[in-house]
Amino acid sequence: MRKKQIGQKVAVALFAAMLALSGCSKPVDSPKQDPGAQSSPGAKTEGQPSGGASNLSIFWWGSDSRHEATQKVLDLYSQDTGVTFDVEFTGWDGYWQKLPVLAASKEVPDVLQMDAAYIEQYVDNGTLADLSPYIDLAEFVGEDEKQNYLIDGKLYGIPLSRNGQGVVFSKTRLAQLGIEEPKNGWTWEEMIAWGREAKKKCPDGVYPLWDMCNWYQYYQEYVQSHGGEKTLAGNEFNFNKETYKEYMQLYLDLVEEGVCPPPEVILSFVEYDPMNDYFLNGKVLTRSISVGSVMTIGKMLPDDELGGVCLPQGEGGSGWVQSTIFFSVSAQSEHIQEAADFIKWFLSDVEAGKILKTTRGLPLSDEVYGSIEPDLDTYEKLNMMLYKIITADEVNPTPYWSDVPPAFSTWNTEFKSTGEAVMIGDMSVEDAAEYLYSLGAEAAAEAK
């Protein structure tokens, strides 16, 4: 079978975009404070960086609301400490086009936002500083969760929020159909049984359970929950053909039964599109979703009361629970201590938290969340609702293992297209498993 060359075309386009972006982006300074209002030399006000740096550079991605709130918080820090900032921000796509250029030229800002999908890549290429000597994560998270953030025993990213993956459903819709709500802590067997019972009360064209079996993230969650290995671990390839065949056949059978939607519904899915997001348009009664995203669903269904449960559990646990967004510090920075001081303040300062609210998800600090909770609207509170559900006593959460190392970027693309081929009957489950195994093994060999 001829392998598609999607990855090569993407790489060429990405390189061209990098070159263009590297010449057109310009940092913006935070307003500088009146020198007369700053502390005298050697004095240190509360929250001021211990090394006395007068300027830090910072780079992040996000929405307009995140940009505006972060700039206000930087101004607050400047007022409190005298430290000013060279600021640069962009959208998600622009960020990951620009950052490789900065890393290659060793011009990465002092403080940069980082994502779980990419952090190991930037650790491997020496871009990020180890922050273990500067920040004790035990101030913010439990010991078990702290271990999830360590890479080879070192701390390269400071989590900025609480996150995780669960399942959302509309209490309103289920009540209208006379369907009992799913129970939190459900197993795979219990989820399937619920779906089959719910199907009996669904009208034509409505399906109880979601299906994204063509996405690697959902396959990895299935593997984890059954006690399997991390499939893509650095340059190691731990793909289990038998597990993949079991996973795909499960969903093919559920589609055949009408418990999961047919290929035409799955393949037309467009997230948050009222016409093509199968949860928003009412074709599917459940949907896997992250803590940081459930608020968006709530706003788009203002007449529905939403509920949630954890992802189905197996011997290995349920879905992942941890932050996937971080602040990191450049290994080339001359102000690592000062940058670390700023990050600690950013996480723990109540006034800063009141400005940021949930622009980066649920605050990590209980004190900060408690200070903003009274001012959150109904939709913003949905994030905490889902977080409490997926961290309840009856749930065994797992770490985030769905990142895709650079060596397997093409394999990840092929995973999706191969899954789609299986869905529509163009490829057998057995052939798909063999193809993905050989492609991944080849990528792993080339990476070593």
DSSP letters, 175-199, are: HHHTPPPPPTT-BHHHHHHHHHHHH
Output 48 or 334, whichever has higher pLDDT.
334
CATH code for 162-319+397-445?
3.40.190.10
Residue listed under structure tokens 């796509």: 93
Confirm if 58 and 74 have CB atoms less than 8 A apart.
Answer: yes
* Residues linked to residue 320 through DSSP beta bridges, in sequence order: 398
pLDDT band at 53 (very low <50, low <70, confident <90, very high): low
Q: What's the mean pLDDT when you consider all of the chain?
A: 88
Q: Residues 71-75: contacts with CB within 8 Å, 24+ apart?
A: 71/30, 72/355, 73/346, 73/352, 73/355, 73/356, 74/30, 75/30, 75/31
Q: What is the pLDDT of residue 54?
A: 86
Output 9 or 270, whichever has higher pLDDT.
270
Model confidence at 37: pLDDT above 90 = no
d(CA 205, CA 58): 49
What H or E segment, with its residue span, contains residue 162? strand 161-162
pLDDT band at 391 (very low <50, low <70, confident <90, very high): very high
Q: Residues 248-254: contacts with CB within 8 Å, 24+ apart?
A: 248/213, 248/419, 248/422, 248/429, 248/432, 248/433, 249/429, 251/211, 251/213, 252/422, 252/423, 252/429, 254/192, 254/195, 254/209, 254/211
Between 71-75, 203-207, 283-287, 406-410, the lowest mean confidence (pLDDT) is in 406-410
* Residues linked to residue 155 through DSSP beta bridges, in sequence order: 150
Output 25 or 297, whichever has higher pLDDT.
297
Percent of all residues in the chain with a pLDDT value above 70, rounded to a whole number: 88
Name the phi and psi angles at 435, rounded to 5: -65, -50
Domain extent listing, the chain: 53-160+322-363, 162-319+397-445
Model confidence at 423: pLDDT above 70 = yes
Model confidence at 257: pLDDT above 80 = yes
Q: Which of 124, 66, 57 is nearest to 92 (CA)?
A: 66
Q: What is the mean pLDDT of residues 204-210?
A: 97
Confirm if 167 and 309 have CB atoms less than 8 A apart.
Answer: yes
Name the phi and psi angles at 103, rounded to 5: -65, -40
Confirm if 163 and 361 have CB atoms less than 8 A apart.
Answer: yes
Model confidence at 341: pLDDT above 70 = yes
Residue 216 tokens, joined: 């690697």
For every residue of 109-145, which 3-state class applies, written as one string?
A: CCEEEEECCCHHHHHHCCCECCCCCCCCHHHCCCHHH
Q: Residues 203-208: contacts with CB within 8 Å, 24+ apart?
A: 203/177, 205/283, 206/177, 206/282, 206/283, 206/284, 206/285, 207/258, 207/259, 207/260, 207/261, 207/265, 207/283, 207/284, 207/285, 208/179, 208/259, 208/260, 208/284, 208/285, 208/286
d(CA 266, CA 289): 16
d(CA 227, CA 188): 13
Between 1-15, 94-108, 354-368, 380-394, the lowest mean confidence (pLDDT) is in 1-15
d(CA 197, CA 194): 5
**First CA to last CA distance, the chain:** 24
Confirm if 87 and 32 have CB atoms less than 8 A apart.
Answer: no
Q: How many residues belong to the chain?
A: 448
Confirm if 106 and 49 have CB atoms less than 8 A apart.
Answer: no
Model confidence at 116: pLDDT above 50 = yes
Model confidence at 312: pLDDT above 50 = yes
Q: What is the pLDDT of residue 117?
A: 86
pLDDT band at 199 (very low <50, low <70, confident <90, very high): very high
pLDDT band at 52 (very low <50, low <70, confident <90, very high): low
Q: What is the pLDDT of residue 144?
A: 81
* Two domains, one topology: 53-160+322-363 and 162-319+397-445: yes
Residues 6+ apart with CB under 8 A from 283: 205, 206, 207, 261, 265
Q: What is the pLDDT of residue 345?
A: 97
Q: What is the pLDDT of residue 39?
A: 29
pLDDT band at 30 (very low <50, low <70, confident <90, very high): very low
Confirm if 118 and 38 have CB atoms less than 8 A apart.
Answer: no
pLDDT band at 8 (very low <50, low <70, confident <90, very high): very low
Model confidence at 18: pLDDT above 60 = no
Model confidence at 31: pLDDT above 50 = no
Q: Which of 405, 265, 296 is nearest to 361 (CA)?
A: 296
Question: Percent helix, strand, coil in the chain (nearest 5)?
Answer: 45, 15, 40
pLDDT band at 448 (very low <50, low <70, confident <90, very high): confident
Q: Cα-Cα-Cα-Cα dihedral of 89, 91, 96, 102, to 10°?
A: -20
Q: What is the pLDDT of residue 48?
A: 45
Asked whether the CA dihedral 403, 406, 410, 411 is positive or negative, the reply is: negative
pLDDT per residue over 122-179, tens digit each? 999 999 999 999 999 998 988 888 988 999 999 999 999 999 999 999 999 999 999 9
CATH topology classification for 53-160+322-363? D-Maltodextrin-Binding Protein; domain 2 (3.40.190)
